[in-house]
Chains A and B, each alone.
Chain A
């Protein structure tokens, strides 16, 4: 899709979002069942929640509540549609989420759920949910792909009284292209410079070894590899196999310019190895905001295509 098409799509989605926000609160279908003890009991058993105010009538009577109350976190349960989906329960979210689906933002992941409880619910109360859209932002580049964050708020009413609210935010994203069959794997567009000085390193990577060049005479370790020892000027050389651990000495998060074959942003670090040399590598397998100086890492080996394996770095479990 061209940039012009993307920006007109963005305008379309934003306008739709603003329209739906302006619609305000839309009442949904009332709960099928009132707040009831069997559903509470089923929930507390499954959760392993032994709080007696939810299920023990005697205890509840002597408690601050004076009677059995429902677990606050059950609030959404009461108005779940269940297996026989409630028909005709239009929500102001339907159009926005539908439009995102139609434009390829088919992935969905919830990012935030915030409940506010005004009071505890008693047995016999019947709840009605009402939904209002409150925000949409994007397009944003995330670890999952490019997408829009969409936010809405559900308020539950008992009669006319609002008893609880829930803010819910999802990321609707364009899933990354799935890697196809192994034989169809496209070659990674970047290749390391392999020569007589560095071949031992790349041979090691393919074997799952992080090899560090060592002077054949004075024994000094050096990286990146080179033909002459900077310490004693010997051209004799060998290597050791590093433990494969290290810590971030310094790093950058690369946003621009685009790099062929790699999704931006990504983190590149100078990693200090316990053997005493530093090596440059990508930090993967964790959110970018977690990357920091002193972070403990271990090496991992990523198959970039059928031939190329690159060493990369992931957080080390403590």
Chain B
């Protein structure tokens, strides 16, 4: 398990896509692992009663998956400095989220990646992740 170095990364480098299937188990287990017990994330009847199609991912999980997407690629010792996410359409159970990303800047050891997480309804999360390469 190798962490990328400065020579592996330049502006414009694209990250391999990551697809995460949003099974009800994933939506519920991540909601509970993030200590979020809001019913719309685990109780399909309650979610529908509030006008949602199904249970959906909570924001703490969106942040976690965005972080994971970048460190899966950058390596275990990449040091996450910031995660900036603009939230879009809900990510419902039964759907899948596909992450894509591009390096938009590298200044020395600090790298900024633009990340997009798309579900069938459109963009669920768009934003940037900043990290430092260990040096």
Contact = CB atoms under 8 A, between A and B. Distances in A.
B48 interface: no
A59 interface: yes
A193 interface: no
Contacts of A81: 35
A117 B68 contact: no
A73 B67 contact: yes
B49 interface: no
B59 interface: yes
Contacts of A53: 76-77
Contacts of B30: 46-47
Interface residues of A, number: 37
Given A43-B64, A72-B67, A82 B79 contact: no
Contacts, number: 107
Contacts of A111: 86-87
Given A48-B68, A76-B60, A43 B34 contact: yes
Interface in B21-59: 26, 29-30, 32-37, 59
B37 A64 contact: no
A42 interface: yes
A92 B26 CA distance: 33
Contacts of A252: none
A112 B85 contact: yes
B9 interface: no
B98 interface: no
Contacts of A74: 34, 64
Q: Which of B20, B79, B122 has the most CB of A within 10 A?
A: B79
A120 B82 CA distance: 12
Contacts of A110: 59, 87
Given A64-B79, A71-B64, A76-B60, 13 more contacts: A46-B61, A47-B33, A49-B72, A51-B71, A64-B134, A72-B83, A73-B60, A73-B68, A110-B59, A112-B87, A113-B59, A113-B63, A113-B85
Listed from nearest, the 5 A-B pairs whose CB atoms lie closest are A80-B35, A46-B33, A73-B67, A46-B29, A114-B84
